[in-house]
Structure 1
Amino acid sequence: MPDHELSMLCSAAISETAGQLARRLTGDDPQTEQLARLRVLAHLQFAVAQQSDQAAVDAVRSGAGYPQLGQAVGLTRQGARRRWPGLVTVRVDHAARAVQPFSPPTDRSR
């Protein structure tokens, strides 16, 4: 599917979802519905960013590198590296001689 078609489908899905959620928040009050829609869109934007970051981690765990991450989101390899610095760090397991993708630490307090 071409990117412009995917973009139109995504835009329609977000518009429909935002409208449904805004109506759930406001009932039948059209005056406050648009502000509720704006609030919903802000939350959706944050949720999409979280989902994108998790999808990048999952892609790396499946063997993707910065070139593939960049291609998936319309960035160069360097752009993907800037967006997710340190996500793709290659570690060599000398016993098995296998290259494994970086796994982000679960405890960031160290």
Structure 2
Amino acid sequence: MATSSLISSPSLLPTKPLTIHRQNQYHNTTTFRNRASFKVLAAKLPAGVEVPKVEPKFKAPFLGFTRTAEIWNSRACMIGIIGIFIVELIINKGTLQTIGVDVGKGLDIPL
């Protein structure tokens, strides 16, 4: 249903035959029965909508580092560090001691 109304819209009906100019030879496309030319009209802006005066410039981020991504990354890092401090206070051990790494015994190298 949607395609039939789209095809029958007045903006897609052929307006005039397409003429191809090639090195002083004129080829009229109306001789080919399977080809048709179409006139496509661009959409108009609704009333009250203004076109921007300057086209916005897009700077490609350097390796994906955008300002917004770095702000959220730093917030997640702060939450993680505070969480580690809270866990260390609750279990009364450091992070390395919690995962089983012996700390505070030196290098154990005889002199």
> Does TM, normalized by the shorter one, top 0.5?
no
TM-score, normalised by the number of residues in structure 2: 0.30
TM-score (norm: length of structure 1): 0.30
Task: Mark the structure with the bigger radius of gyration.
Answer: 2
